[in-house]
Chain A
Amino acid sequence: MRSISLQELAELASARGVTIGALALEWECQEAGEPAEALRGKMGERLRVMREAVARGLQGVKSRSGLTGGDAKLVAKGLAANASARLVGGEPLTTAISYALAVSEVNASMGRIVAAPTGGSCGILPGVLLSVGERVGATDESLIDALFTAGAAGSVIARRATVSGAAGGCQAECGSAAAMAAAAAVQLGGGTPQQCVQAVALSLKGLMGLVCDPVAGLVEVPCIKRNATSAGVALAAATMALAGVRSVVPPDEVVDAMGAVGRELPASLKETAVGGLAATPTGKRIAGQV
């Protein structure tokens, strides 16, 4: 990926009449010296791993510590039973939540996942991408293109700010993942490149300041459920962007602000398992047990 801003990405893609993902793929080919077909295949393999993780998680898995697991199955069961009174978010949100939980639970059980951008935030992108993809009837080709768009957005965030929880808190991991997922969802929903980067801004704003406070230092509590709630933020951001809502603060300034907030967060709230939920009586009790 080139060193470029979100605004430049959107303008360049619009001017050339292509998706942001198509630009990212073109540059990736130049840098890696590989044909587009090979790199599409490589991304297709990642898509396959994402699907497998969703399927596995929906069957119900348990983490190594025994702390978590089975929630994806629970949500999917509610959906299958069509318990409409309990599905206040409706089918699309419920499906995204169940998929995001599924992949995160597979991660905690030492199953195979795609870091997106990290292991701790690996459920958000597949949760949103695959649920939206199924609803709009997206082909694998368009899902792969949406993954390149998501990757391009994540790449800009990683360069301008950070995608590491230890460096920037959960806003950098789950926030970035939601931003990437929202960009992908906008593209699958037929949005413009400008709407994709607006969705990035709206997601990051929604999760700005989110701390990384893993109980007992494990990628489980609250990480797994934060993947589900972050998928919800991504869908909200994508919905707004597709309707034409624009962020008052431009996308690149939002990314920079997220980076600045991350630097200002105290170390106790950046993956050290010292503050936040890790410091609660229950958090401490669990830490003493594992």
Chain B
Amino acid sequence: MNSVFQIIGPVMVGPSSSHTAGAVLLGLAARSILGGQPVAARILLHGSFAQTYRGHGTDIALVAGLLGMAPDDERIPDSMRWAKELGLDASIESADLGDVHPNTVRMELTGADGRRLDITGSSIGGGNIVITRIGKFDVQFKGENHALVVSYKDQPGVIANITSILAGEHVNIATMNVSREAKHGTALAIIELDQPVSSEATALVAQVNGVSTVMSLPPLAVS
């Protein structure tokens, strides 16, 4: 809560900063990590999300986020109709996701290119969120900064090559979260940055030996 705009704000569609605005942001985060609007989404709601989603519009808020709407978009109450129009087949279920935050959702997404990706995240209060799992990887991603999400083969030098491209762009790394499936297996790096990365630099990162996908994400947190 460093900024007065976090106290007088965000501008949002009600009723709840955690169950509505936070849910929109979780949908938006999942959309940008997938790299575009999904064509199908199986949405699994856990805990308080599962118990109170109807009254808070948590379900339609998540769908609105997946469609690219911001938390103050007045189309949010009609997001299910917009989903049909924009070609997103969304289903909502309650589920026990285990020992996680009470406001947690898993979104099992299918992209336009047929790619499948499961993304889990929690709404942790006041419209703040954290993405906790992307595919097979446990992460801690709050979407507060610009970020690069890079999947690659776990081998020496990949991170060094990526960071030297960023250094060449004068982009400062705020935090870096690296995890891997197994030694020499698939790995995922979430690199949070103080400045945005140019599309040229993103393309250079994609060409680094061992890198399979690169996603450049804008900051998600609204204030």
Contact = CB atoms under 8 A, between A and B. Distances in A.
Interface of A: 1, 24, 28, 31-32, 42-43, 45-46, 49, 63-65, 106-120, 122, 125, 147-148, 150-152, 154-155, 158-159, 163-164, 166-167, 180, 216-220, 273, 290
A110 B76 contact: yes
A24 to B, nearest CB: 5
Contacts, number: 135
Contacts of A108: 14-15
A158 B4 contact: no
B104 to A, nearest CB: 15
Q: Give the 3 A-B residue pairs with the shortest CB-CB distance, closest first.
A: A151-B4, A107-B14, A154-B7
Given A64-B57, A110-B76, A119-B17, A158 B8 contact: no
Interface in B51-92: 51-52, 54-57, 72, 74, 76-77
Contacts of A147: 8
Interface in B3-45: 3-5, 7-18, 20-21
B148 to A, nearest CB: 23
Q: Residue among A42, A49, A64, A220 with the most chain B CB within 10 A?
A: A64
A145 to B, nearest CB: 12
Interface of B: 1-5, 7-18, 20-21, 48, 51-52, 54-57, 72, 74, 76-77, 125-127
Nearest to B54: A290
A146 to B, nearest CB: 11
Contacts of B7: 116-117, 150-151, 154-155, 158, 163, 180
Contact of A112 (B4, B11, B16, B52): B11
A203 B80 CA distance: 42
